[in-house]
Amino acid sequence: MPGSRAGTEGFDLYQGFLRDFIVNKLVREMNSDEMSDYIIEPLAPSSIVSAYPLIRLLAPNLDLKAWKQQAGMAIDQRSRGAKGILIARAVQRQYVCGMAWYRCEFDLAKGKFLRANNLIALDLLDSQQIVACLVSALGEVARDQHCRSVKLVVPQASALSEILHNVVRDLEPDPAIELSIEAAALH
């Protein structure tokens, strides 16, 4: 039906550009063969439902309607990349196995930074690899958005907190982007 996609062309172009930018940049700059096992891309409207089981691990009481609404607002193309959701997929499989929400914020002392939360990775053998890919992609988003740092917010005393500390310790430092971890209390 003509006009049924009205208003989505710009979003599709932006999503395509951001996805290509992140994936191409990661492929060029990653030295680790392990990182190429996963594709990191922005959550597209067509993938919101397939990401629902993963977000339920963080928010078990979140219903599908509320998830669609929250995810839709987070990936709104009017933000021009200043906020969004990145997802991870294994190259060999199509299911979503990792996710991180992000948004640009400003601090008077530190300047513009990227806050990442709702980070989750699920793999039976190695969730750390997924987290490493997501953190690297968040660094690329931060650089693209002219942020000085990425603040990774995780629940206190969680398994993810330990994984994230290991990832940040093991990643090759980027002089342009500082990585920090903030432990938040569970609500």
CATH class of 9-184: alpha beta
Confidence of residue 80 (pLDDT cuts 50, 70, 90): confident
pLDDT at 31 exceeding the cut of 90: no
Confidence of residue 147 (pLDDT cuts 50, 70, 90): very high
Q: Give the per-residue pLDDT at 19.
A: 52
* pLDDT tens sequence across 95-127: 899 999 999 999 998 899 999 999 999 987 788
Do 109 and 89 contact (CB within 8 A), yes or no?
Answer: no
Confidence of residue 41 (pLDDT cuts 50, 70, 90): very high
Q: Which of 177, 180, 160, 159 is nearest to 169 (CA)?
A: 180
Do 155 and 100 contact (CB within 8 A), yes or no?
Answer: no
Q: Which residue has the higher pLDDT, 130 or 176?
A: 130
- From CA 56, how far away is CA 63, in angstroms rounded? 8
Q: Which residue has the higher pLDDT, 82 or 31?
A: 82
**Contacts by residues 119-127 (CB-CB < 8 Å, ≥ 24 positions apart):** 119/152, 119/153, 119/154, 119/160, 119/164, 120/54, 120/55, 120/57, 120/58, 120/160, 121/88, 121/97, 121/160, 121/163, 122/54, 122/57, 122/97, 122/98, 123/90, 123/97, 127/98, 127/163
Average per-residue pLDDT in the chain? 82
DSSP category for residue 2? T
Q: Give the per-residue pLDDT at 186.
A: 58
Backbone angles phi, psi at 83, to 5 degrees: -150, 155
pLDDT at 4 exceeding the cut of 80: no
Q: Give the per-residue pLDDT at 97.
A: 94
- From CA 46, how far away is CA 160, in angstroms rounded? 27
Q: Which residue has the higher pLDDT, 123 or 83?
A: 83
H/E stretch holding 97 reads: strand 96-107
Q: Give the per-residue pLDDT at 81.
A: 80
How many alpha carbons lie under 13 Å from residue 90 in its C-beta half-sphere? Answer: 12
Average pLDDT for 138-160: 89
Strands 178-184 and 38-42: unpaired
* pLDDT tens sequence across 53-66: 999 988 999 999 99
Q: Give the per-residue pLDDT at 35.
A: 54
How many alpha carbons lie under 13 Å from residue 134 in its C-beta half-sphere? Answer: 32
Rg for the chain, CA atoms, rounded: 16
pTM: 0.78
